Structure 1
Amino acid sequence: MGYMIAATDGEIGTVDDLLFDDHDWTIRWLVVDTGTWLSGRKVLLPPEACGEPLAATRELRVNVTRQMVEESPSIDTDAPVSRLQESDVFGYYGWEPYWLGYPYATAAGMPNPVPPESAVGSLEGSDDAIAGAAPRGDPNLRSVSEVTGYYIHASDGDIGHVEDFLLDADSWALRYLIVDTKNWWPGKKTLVSPKSFRRVNWNDGTVSTSLTKDGIKSAPEYDPAQTVDRAYEERYHDYYGYPAYWI
């Protein structure tokens, strides 16, 4: 959030939000605020279009031009993004939708977009060719900004609220929710994996997990000042009995 997006020929804006698929908690879109360049317009870019995040400069490089972004389909990011709208963006850039596969990557690891006119021409008059067999309704995309602040309920009581997320920069999966437990366990923050979720109530902003409060207290301690490395994840997964996603 807040990272600068660099196109091949200059800056295009900053990351304003992230949209994730609530079935597998994977980031599907970056919502980019173009600021004064496009009069406050926001555009969508898939994470597969991005290179490796550059933490030192807080920058993400994408293999598109400013003109391509400027002429990309308009999306109302304040409303639910439909599958057809997603298809329009993928079709415009000539990238394969994530529900059919992933974009072909260049040697640098970023997709090489087909010129927009080629993509439009190849799909002209065929919405089904763009959307494939996927439904056209709400594809269950959720906003990271919206979910921040949701309350987390353990099996035996409340434990706090979502303060932040830990993102796997390789797969763009949301691996953990950072939970502020100040009303229950003062001065502590803990990690909760989506693997433990029993139910998410998107209407009232609550998440129910199978974890107990004592179980969370005894889990490997999370220190926000320390990097969550593989050694920590191994201890965390072993403690909860979760399968190792990295194997």
Structure 2
Amino acid sequence: MSELWNYREGVVSGTGVSLIGFDVEATDGKIGTVDEESDTVGSSYLVVDTGFWIFGKKVVMPASSIVQIDPQERKVFLARTKEEIKDAPEFDENTYKEPGYRHQIGDYYGRFPKLP
């Protein structure tokens, strides 16, 4: 399951460029902006603020869900649909960095077929 938390081959986390504030696009449209990022090997993720789309909810997106980063357009593209992201485990500001929550996220996203 650790591959879930690593960037895909060919997707660079920004070559030193912070992704915070970048727009985030699901396969079927914009879902929000990057609120926080972690580039720790084997533990990389984004916290996406979905704004009004799902009433201010934040979501954790494992690094493997990122298929492209466009620094010029300031966009991150994900291999998940809006519905898949909307149904992810509830974000909790106090526990999202803990192993138990990460395991929940891993179980949730791990059940979907791996997208190109």
Q: Does 2:24 correspond to 1:152?
A: yes
- 1:193 Cα shift? 1.6
Q: Does 2:17 correspond to 1:143?
A: yes
- 1:214 Cα shift? 0.9
- 1:223 Cα shift? 1.1
- 1:23 Cα shift? 4.8
Which residue of the partner structure matches residue 53 of structure 2?
184
Secondary structure of the equivalent of 2:44? Answer: strand
Secondary structure of the equivalent of 1:165? Answer: strand
Alignment of 1:40-79 (within 5 A): none
Q: Does 2:74 correspond to 1:205?
A: yes
Tell me the percent identity. 30
The question of whether the paired residues in 2 share the 8 Å contact of 1:154 and 1:210 is answered with: yes
Give distance in 1, aligned partners of 2:16 and 2:97. 25
Q: Aligned pair in 2 of structure 1 residues 154, 175: CA closer, same or farther (>3 Å)?
A: same
The question of whether the paired residues in 1 share the 8 Å contact of 2:22 and 2:34 is answered with: yes
Runs of 5+ in structure 1 lacking a partner? 1-21, 26-139, 243-247
Q: Does 2:108 correspond to 1:236?
A: no
Give distance in 1, aligned partners of 2:39 and 2:92. 16
Q: Does 2:91 correspond to 1:222?
A: yes
Q: Which of the pair has more CA radius of gyration?
A: 1
